Amino acid sequence: MVDAAIRPAVSDAADTPEGGIDVARVHELLMGTWADTRRQAREMIKDPAFWRDDSLRMDEHRERVLTQLHLLVENGAVHRAFPKRFGGEENNGANIAGFEELVVADPSLQIKSGVQWGLFGSAILQLGTAEHHDKWLPGVMDLSLPGAFAMTEIGHGSDVASVGTTATYDPETEQFVIHTPFRGATKEYLGNAALHGVAATVFAQLITNGVNHGVHCFYVPLRGDDGQDLPGIRREDDGLKGGLNGIDNGRLSFDHVRIPRTNLLNRYGDVAADGTYSSEIDSPGRRFFTMLGTLVQGRVSLDGAASWASALGLHIAITYGSQRRQFDGADGSETVLLDYGKHQRRLLPRLATTYAHIFAHDEFLQKFDGVFSARIDTPQDREDLETLAAALKPLSTWHALDTLQEAREACGGAGFMFENRLVGLRADLDIYATFEGDNNVLLQLVGKRLLTDFARQFKGKDAAALAKYAVGQTAGKVFHGAGLRALGQTVADFGQVARSVELGLREEQQHEMLTERVQQMVADIAGRLRAAGKDRARAEKLFNENQAQLIEAARAHGELLLWEAFTDAVNAIEDARTRTVLTWLRDLFGLSLIEKHLAWHLINGRLSTQRAAAVSRYIDRLCARLRPHALELVQAFGYEPEHVRAPIASGAEQQRQDEARAYYAALEASGEAPVSEKSLRKAQKRS
Amino acid sequence: MVDAAIRPAVSDAADTPEGGIDVARVHELLMGTWADTRRQAREMIKDPAFWRDDSLRMDEHRERVLTQLHLLVENGAVHRAFPKRFGGEENNGANIAGFEELVVADPSLQIKSGVQWGLFGSAILQLGTAEHHDKWLPGVMDLSLPGAFAMTEIGHGSDVASVGTTATYDPETEQFVIHTPFRGATKEYLGNAALHGVAATVFAQLITNGVNHGVHCFYVPLRGDDGQDLPGIRREDDGLKGGLNGIDNGRLSFDHVRIPRTNLLNRYGDVAADGTYSSEIDSPGRRFFTMLGTLVQGRVSLDGAASWASALGLHIAITYGSQRRQFDGADGSETVLLDYGKHQRRLLPRLATTYAHIFAHDEFLQKFDGVFSARIDTPQDREDLETLAAALKPLSTWHALDTLQEAREACGGAGFMFENRLVGLRADLDIYATFEGDNNVLLQLVGKRLLTDFARQFKGKDAAALAKYAVGQTAGKVFHGAGLRALGQTVADFGQVARSVELGLREEQQHEMLTERVQQMVADIAGRLRAAGKDRARAEKLFNENQAQLIEAARAHGELLLWEAFTDAVNAIEDARTRTVLTWLRDLFGLSLIEKHLAWHLINGRLSTQRAAAVSRYIDRLCARLRPHALELVQAFGYEPEHVRAPIASGAEQQRQDEARAYYAALEASGEAPVSEKSLRKAQKRS
């Protein structure tokens, strides 16, 4: 029942036929374009002053995080995106990269600094003009001017265009009157609003001369020099949240609060002293989306932070799973958890997905940096960046929650102990799935973009041709043999053994299947939506019926982007052994996607039943092949003890296992070990 | 952009062709066999003294919950399972039913009372004999004797048989020496161990006369009358956990602690004064499982508590989703969230699954009550009960986590506020997935039982026949057309329209598909495992390769049980309208299961591609049909405001929506509403 023998760890990457991988090279790849900044940030947060202190209650945690924000200022860690004339670096990519790394110190620290410099500060920087910059950016940067970003209201989150707060221009006094006309228009969930904010960037309907010009952003002081809230300002504290309790979220409402006309952040729309409105962007819709688009960096950084949090979770669970043993194996020793097929299945596909997210994030960050540095900044680029953000942020934030939960369960009761990080990270990251854009709403945006791009293909062609195309697509589904024949699988797979079926699931086929799934799903939905013609009510009904599938198509698009980024990264590896292992990991990712959507591939004739049946077996084999490399693959994330800080991943488990095994070995050697009743009975039976 | 009109809520169940359902009747069905006890418990916990207080820090929360336990004693709420001679009722079913209801007051309260009366108390009751009962049960019952249940160790959780703690009999002094021989043998995660426990029921290897008779349970005093820990007792505090912080979990270790021989809870095994061991159960293995089997009620109660927690989560999210609006619809009003196809897809299948779990739980509880009241108590019944517990507890606890998370995301930022209950419930229930049996390990047990039952069918038949059977099964997979023809779908479905395809997805077909899936999966795995013959190492390797699939087969078995329980409940409804709606809900559950495993049904020829393609569309239609009944269906859970306590589900959102709409209506009527720039530009274009 208990294990009396000691054997060395079975799984050593160096003992595999392919040998160990080049961990340093993989680490470089994962760290990406702004590796130096990431390293700098990781070095900085080795200081315990930046660590989450789980013993604090909400109010103490809030104060600690505020102090940590000042530490960030002292360390020059948060000024990379700001103009050089204020001491910044105008380096947008590096700014986000460094910011993301804070998540492993304390997600509250990450998000509160995001509120200050990424939202409040960015609104002034991106939506304001020189005068505003001069006036407020120095205070924003050195944290003498902490502020809130007041966009969301109780009644309007995703639909920002419909916020109820009004900013009505009064030409008599040359002031805007900021007002909350009903309870639902109260600004809600704002970091820095409950306590620390002395000003806010407030989004409100700009009304002048009886015309509503839509949502604009205004700088509104909240607190006077005496530290008291100004007249008409009302704050409420959101109190305890599911996580991120180091941030003082709260509500703000305004009772006819007057601010100078020049407090309108007027880069995209202005009001003259006499109340005349002007904007360089004619279309109110395009103007609105341009303004919101300047704030995309929140989504960028959540994508990176969530991906790296997944990496940390897997570092912990895979380290523990490589040391922890439970239940006797055939050889009499207790089996290491990660040697179980199911345990591999739980953790290794998520490891592969995490790699995909980290690689995709770096490409995303490059795109962001290009647009924000105005190197590549056409309307098309901005639109692509928005779509990329809307596709990747949902997938990575959901992936983080899923991974942290599986990691926690894979560590059993130990995973539930706060000190082991997993439950705390999960709780803090929970909100990432709905803030900075609700994940489902974002994916719907991607879906709509895919539909637009699809329709563009048919521009100039008549409606009949399009209808015919749509019918053709649907036919492909009904006569499901057609797709199969096109791929030539039916004939090729007959009588094939597992090994050769795998050949039909390699890089090229994975890419083909993932790509065609997006195309086909979009074409199918477009075909169904066309039936509405110009009937708006019918169109709404049809859209609603297809909403869940459109979101699925968007997800498929995001998954394709991830797969492509992973493949590009693999192709950048020179060392053959490393490349082999990373190719397995990419295959594990690709095939896990195909397995997840296997029914779709079958129904749409993209996979024969034989090949479909082979997918799961192939995944099992890939898991077994990757298992000896699991530790190397998490080592490549580069986390050091000061980042991990989880006792179960510190080597303590290995020590306990060794101690237990040594105890039984010594007992056995002493000749005083009790005999088990079981073995006595067996012996009796034999005699 | 903003909505100026007011219209009544669109979705009124009474306006549907089928009319409203009989909510009271459905409520009765859900409350099940021990409805009266449940009602009594719900009435009791309306008292705010039982509610979770989110403002407390860990130490305060622990003290509050201890006080609440005394309140339970005062209310006579926790003695239902105990012997009548001590003032109990010997009513096992009612005891669990009442206990489960505590989860909506505070899961910490539920679990800490579970530790005291369900684990510590039950160990004495079930594993001890009359003398032990007389001595300790009164103190257990009135809480003058709070105790810990010391089974799990740092090094052994799922594998209880291998715990390291020893209880060595010393005939000289007629004492057992309880000892922790190495760090990994420390008892871990024990409620009441950090602070409140004055004694513990300790599971240890019983060693006497040089023989280890396996794990037995001992009563070990921890603290003397002076309130100080006794010599050799060492406690450590587990500190902060991911949830359930109202419980003082901790570690216990023993340094040669001596207890009287009679402190062995000796119902299933005893040691005479001279050290002679005796047991009425010969097989050490069966003895061990019999002892553990008496403690199955933990799993029973978690199944019920998790199912009702899911119900509460859906009550909150569906109430909010029926009031909250976002984005303009085609009619100019903002759309109610639950009118979105995707929102229905997110919440309604989970509502259906929750119904299935609650119905299945009542059957489970009846079985438990039958066995524990010795009305039906054969070894076969005990084994069935164990398997039922191992199948249902994993599914319901995972379902609760999934549902609470989806509910939280469906409520957006409001869902993340602690006051709205969802994040707190989720955090507290997280550990339900791994305590009282790790979910994956439990499902593996079920899988092994399924394999045993499968093998039993072939008992007496020769190996060749079995091998042939296995090949036949596999062939069914390769020649995938075969299964289809057997079901007659290929011909029948050709050219069918959606409506008639649905006819092929009714009750009978759902049952057939769910049943055959379990059978086929088990047969397939059995066939693959047979290849090992008597080679133990090969058998381990093969088992490991099939582990993930065996767990899937066990899940499929559990899903079938849920579906059958749901169907039985539907058949108990007399009212035709109610029955129609509940049948839709059952269909939604059944088809969601089939959709989840669609690839399996396709690969194994159980569904034609046409019919498979129809499944998702049918689910969409069912969601749309059920949408007007969603509120009725959550009302049937019977939760009152004192149970819900979530501001977003209090009607506050409806009030805010009404207020906003009234504001815009009044503004419109006043003639002073600003014109939108958008509409001005449209008008200019037209002129």
B184, B189, B241: residue with CB nearest A418: B241
What gap in Å lies between CA B309 and CA B100, rounded to an integer?
9
Angle A558-A563-A566 (CA atoms, 0-180°, nearest 5)?
125
Query: CB contact, 8 Å: A182 with chain B?
Result: yes
| Cβ-Cβ contacts under 8 Å, A602 against chain B | 599, 602-603, 609, 612
Residue pair B137/B83 in contact (Cβ under 8 Å)? The answer is: yes
Tally of helices (H runs) and strands (E runs) in chain B: 27, 14
Amino acid identity at A14: A
- The overall average pLDDT reported for chain B is 92
Counting one residue from chain A and one from chain B, the pairs whose CB atoms sit within 8 A come to 306
State the number of CA atoms in the 13 A half-sphere of A185 facing the CB: 25
Would you call B391 helix, strand, or coil by DSSP? Answer: helix
Q: Distance (Å) from the C-alpha of residue A164 to the closest C-alpha of chain B?
A: 8
Which A positions 482-541 lie with beta carbon below 8 A of chain B?
536-537, 539-540
Q: Is the pLDDT score of B160 beyond 60?
A: yes
Q: What does DSSP assign to residue B673?
A: P
A330, A657, A663: residue with CB nearest B536: A330
Amino acid identity at A509: Q
Exposure string for B397-415, b = 16+ CB within 10 A, e = fewer: bbbbbbbbbbbbbbbbbbb
Give the DSSP H or E segment for B9.
Answer: none
Residue pair A193/A187 in contact (Cβ under 8 Å)? The answer is: yes
Q: Is the pLDDT score of B35 beyond 90?
A: yes
Mean pLDDT value across residues B342-369: 98
| Cβ-Cβ contacts under 8 Å, B428 against chain A | none
DSSP B524-585: HHHHHHHTTTT-HHHHHHHHHHHHHHHHHHHHHHHHHHHHHHHHHHHHT---HHHHHHHHHH
B161, B210, B239: residue with CB nearest A1: B161
| Cβ-Cβ contacts under 8 Å, A347 against chain B | none
What gap in Å lies between CA A612 and CA B39, rounded to an integer?
51
Q: In which residue are the tokens 């119904």 written?
A: B355
Give the DSSP H or E segment for A150.
Answer: strand A147-150
Q: Tokens representing B218?
A: 């001992």
B154, B242, B603: residue with CB nearest A416: B242
What is the 3 state secondary structure string of B456-493?
Answer: HCCCCCCHHHHHHHHHHHHHHHHCCHHHHHHHCHHHHH
Query: CB contact, 8 Å: B427 with chain A?
Result: yes
Crossing angle between the packed helical segments B341-372 and B609-626, to the nearest 10 degrees: 90
* pLDDT given at position B1: 33
Angle B549-B552-B558 (CA atoms, 0-180°, nearest 5)?
150
Confidence of residue B2 (pLDDT cuts 50, 70, 90): very low
What gap in Å lies between CA B305 and CA B396, rounded to an integer?
9
Confidence of residue B460 (pLDDT cuts 50, 70, 90): low
Task: Extract the runs of DSSP E, i.e. beta strands, from B227-363.
Answer: 233-237, 250-254, 257-260, 270-271, 277-278, 325-328, 334-336
Query: CB contact, 8 Å: B181 with chain A?
Result: yes
Q: A380 burial class (0-12, 13-18, 19+ CB within 10 angstroms)? A: exposed
Confidence of residue B8 (pLDDT cuts 50, 70, 90): very low
Stated length of chain A: 687
**How many C-beta atoms surround the C-beta of residue A491 within 10 A?**
9
Give the DSSP H or E segment for B266.
Answer: none
User: Which residue out of B430, B608, B654, B667 would a mutagenesis test of the A interface target, given it has the greatest number of A Cβ atoms within 10 Å?
Assistant: B430
State the number of CA atoms in the 13 A half-sphere of B542 facing the CB: 16
| Cβ-Cβ contacts under 8 Å, B657 against chain A | 155, 184
What gap in Å lies between CA B107 and CA B430, rounded to an integer?
11
B334, B401, B599: residue with CB nearest A612: B599
Residue pair B267/B129 in contact (Cβ under 8 Å)? The answer is: yes
B528 or B476: whose pLDDT is higher? Answer: B528
A211, A599, A674: residue with CB nearest B602: A599
The rounded radius of gyration (Å) of the Cα atoms in chain B is 29
Task: Report residue A681: phi and psi, to 5°.
Answer: -65, -40
Inter-residue long-range contacts of B42-47, CB under 8 Å, 24+ positions, other chains counted: B42/B101, B42/B104, B42/B638, B42/B640, B42/B643, B44/B75, B44/B77, B45/B101, B45/B102, B45/B104, B45/B105, B45/B642, B45/B643, B46/B640, B46/B642, B46/B643
Give B168-218 pLDDT, tens digit per residue: 999 999 999 999 999 999 999 999 999 999 999 999 999 999 999 999 999
Quick check: A674 and B599 CB within 8 A?
Answer: no
Give B283-309 pLDDT, tens digit per residue: 999 999 999 988 899 999 999 999 999
Give A95-114 pLDDT, tens digit per residue: 999 999 999 999 999 999 99
* pLDDT given at position B11: 47
Residue pair A110/A305 in contact (Cβ under 8 Å)? The answer is: yes
Q: Distance (Å) from the C-alpha of residue B160 to the closest C-alpha of chain A?
A: 9
Q: What does DSSP assign to residue A433?
A: G
Residue pair B311/B104 in contact (Cβ under 8 Å)? The answer is: no
Quick check: A656 and B415 CB within 8 A?
Answer: no
Task: Report residue A231: phi and psi, to 5°.
Answer: -60, 140
Give B465-517 pLDDT, tens digit per residue: 555 554 444 433 333 333 333 444 443 444 444 555 677 789 999 999 999 99
Task: Quote the ipTM score.
Answer: 0.94
Quick check: A609 and B480 CB within 8 A?
Answer: yes
Quote helix, strand, coil % in chain B, to nearest 5.
Answer: 60, 10, 30
Q: Tokens representing A161?
A: 């265009």
Quick check: A434 and B418 CB within 8 A?
Answer: no
What gap in Å lies between CA A425 and CA A643, rounded to an integer?
13
What gap in Å lies between CA A464 and CA A441, rounded to an integer?
32
What gap in Å lies between CA B133 and CA A291, rounded to an integer?
73
Query: CB contact, 8 Å: B59 with chain A?
Result: no
Angle A644-A648-A650 (CA atoms, 0-180°, nearest 5)?
55
Task: Extract the runs of DSSP E, i.e. beta strands, from A383-499.
Answer: none
Q: In which residue are the tokens 């990519």 written?
A: A93
Q: In which residue are the tokens 């199918």 written?
A: A524
Q: Is the pLDDT score of B315 beyond 60?
A: yes
**How many C-beta atoms surround the C-beta of residue A55 within 10 A?**
12
What gap in Å lies between CA A308 and CA A400, rounded to an integer?
9
State the number of CA atoms in the 13 A half-sphere of B604 facing the CB: 20
Q: What does DSSP assign to residue B411?
A: T
Residue pair B249/B191 in contact (Cβ under 8 Å)? The answer is: yes
Q: Closest by alpha carbon to B558, among B593, B588, B583?
A: B593
Query: CB contact, 8 Å: A548 with chain B?
Result: yes
What gap in Å lies between CA B119 and CA B104, rounded to an integer?
21
User: Which residue out of A342, A494, A524 would a mutagenesis test of the B interface target, given it has the greatest number of B Cβ atoms within 10 Å?
Assistant: A342
Give B550-565 pLDDT, tens digit per residue: 999 999 999 999 999 9
Confidence of residue B15 (pLDDT cuts 50, 70, 90): confident
Residue pair A167/A205 in contact (Cβ under 8 Å)? The answer is: yes
For B657, the closest chain A residue by CA position comes to A184
With a cut of 50, list the residues of chain A below it in pLDDT: 1-11, 470-497
| Cβ-Cβ contacts under 8 Å, A551 against chain B | 342
Give A417-442 pLDDT, tens digit per residue: 999 999 999 999 999 999 999 999 99
* pLDDT given at position B462: 60
Q: Tokens representing A344?
A: 């591999």
Q: Distance (Å) from the C-alpha of residue B570 to the closest C-alpha of chain A?
A: 28
Distance spanning both ends of chain A, measured CA to CA:
22
Query: CB contact, 8 Å: B545 with chain A?
Result: yes
Q: Facing residues of A218 across strands?
A: A202, A264
Task: Report residue B331: phi and psi, to 5°.
Answer: -85, 5
Query: CB contact, 8 Å: A547 with chain B?
Result: yes
* pLDDT given at position B475: 36
* pLDDT given at position B444: 97
Quick check: B240 and A675 CB within 8 A?
Answer: no
- Percentage of residues in chain B with pLDDT exceeding 90? 86
Q: Is the pLDDT score of B377 beyond 90?
A: no
